[in-house]
Amino acid sequence: MIRLKKAYEKDAHLVLDLQKKAFEKLLEKYQDEETNPGAECLDKILNRMRQAGTQYYFIFKHEIIIGAARVHTENNQHRLSPIFILPEYQGQGYGQAAMYLLESLYPYEHWVLSTIMEEEKLVQFYEKVGYTYTHAKPLNEKMTAGYFEKKINPLKVKDLLYAIEKSQLDHELSQLTEDIEVSKTEAYCMIKHDGSNSLYSNRVVYAHEAQETPHQLLQIAKKFYGEKEFSWWTQGHVDENIQTLLKEKGFCLHDRYDALYKSLESILPVSYNIREVMPYEDSVKDLAILAVKIWEGDENQIDYAIKRYNHYLTSENRRGGYILVYKDQVPVGYGNYRFSSCQRFLYLNGTGVLPEYRRQGYYTALLNYRLNLGKKYLAQFAVVQARQNHSSPILLSNGFKKIGEFELYA
């Protein structure tokens, strides 16, 4: 995960050093001494910092500064100039996340920036995060400045539903170990886990009718999973034809889930002792054993679960974690969380409390702790697929709103 921290005049030397590292190759390539941030002097950065409506930010990955940005606000619009990620951290989603975080801090919907048109990757990146080209201006014989703008519209229901559906597949690359296989196109996404027989680990995340018919999608799934049993997630009334076919072919409705979301607006009270699960500590084993007890799972899978938890918790680019809630010094419940790749959404991946400790506020404490984390890291919404008649009523009573339904067939 990344975070932003304001930079001030005392930080100007560091901003200058970062700009030189980030823009060195572009400056060498285009010789744009007057416009390249890598060619700026300290006085220019200080003068910009003193401008009304200007704020610089450092971009942090954990405790490491990986980039910086400047936002200048004038005439009801925000200009990004510059924004950059150091070369060794590029191509890992940090720039996209930083831009969404910056947008969440400011009141106006209109954003503008400029980039080098000859750098196709830069142009594609800005288009990917929602900017559209407006015009261009030659700067020298080698380069042309392209000007882009973005008008941020409020999220629509379909955008939130997509984020909820995507929560099942928006994983860090470190989670895709050798025993996990993913088959993904515009029409479908299927995940197979050789190390697990769980229907939740082997699942069709989505399969919407596009180029393929429901019969063709089913054949694709059968070929992908072979002899392994799998589940199939369907979305409300969108997938009625697929639901009908699954029933005809012997699939049964396994469970129903509500698509829920909550806007993250305030810090919430946490009334119990909650700790983050740390790699290679007793808390990892506690988590694995607790999950088996709560869900009546296979005790033979505990060692494998410990291995996977440690693998994830030590991965460099992880965006989530696990927490435990304690009664005295005994763990009685757990919660999972993960941030979306753009960090705009907080995914609530699972929560469980031992039966004898339910209805005592432990679930709400686990929930509020994670919502506060989302607020801390500037996520805008928490989203979740919540089981009807199970976690959904609790979440609805805690301010979540329902925008759709999912049905799970197996």
Tens digits of residue pLDDT in 337-385? 999 988 999 999 899 999 999 999 999 999 999 999 999 998 999 999 9
Distance of CA 408 to the CA centre of its chain: 23
Q: Are 404 and 235 in contact (CB under 8 A)?
A: yes
* 150 burial type by CB count under 10 A (0-12 exposed, 13-18 middle, 19+ buried): buried
pTM, to two decimals:
0.82
Query: Is a pLDDT exceeding 80 seen at residue 174?
Result: no
Contacts of 141 (CB under 8 A, 6+ apart): none
When pLDDT is averaged across residues 138-163 and rounded to a whole number, the result is 88
Contacts of 235 (CB under 8 A, 6+ apart): 161, 165, 206, 208, 404, 405, 406
Tens digits of residue pLDDT in 239-297? 889 999 999 999 999 999 999 999 998 899 998 999 999 999 999 999 999 999 999 88
- Nearest CA among 354, 324, 353, 328 for reference residue 337: 324
Query: Is a pLDDT exceeding 70 seen at residue 5?
Result: yes
DSSP letters along 368-381, please? Answer: HHHHHHHHHTT--E
Q: Domains in the chain, start-ordered, CATH in brackets?
A: 2-151 (3.40.630.30), 158-254 (no CATH), 265-379 (3.40.630.30)
CA distance linking residue 35 with residue 126, whole number of Å:
19
Query: Is a pLDDT exceeding 80 seen at residue 171?
Result: no
Contacts of 62 (CB under 8 A, 6+ apart): 1
Residue indicated by tokens 């889930």: 257
Q: What is the helix (H) or strand (E) element at residue 225, kind and residue range?
A: helix 214-225
CA distance linking residue 220 with residue 53, whole number of Å:
55
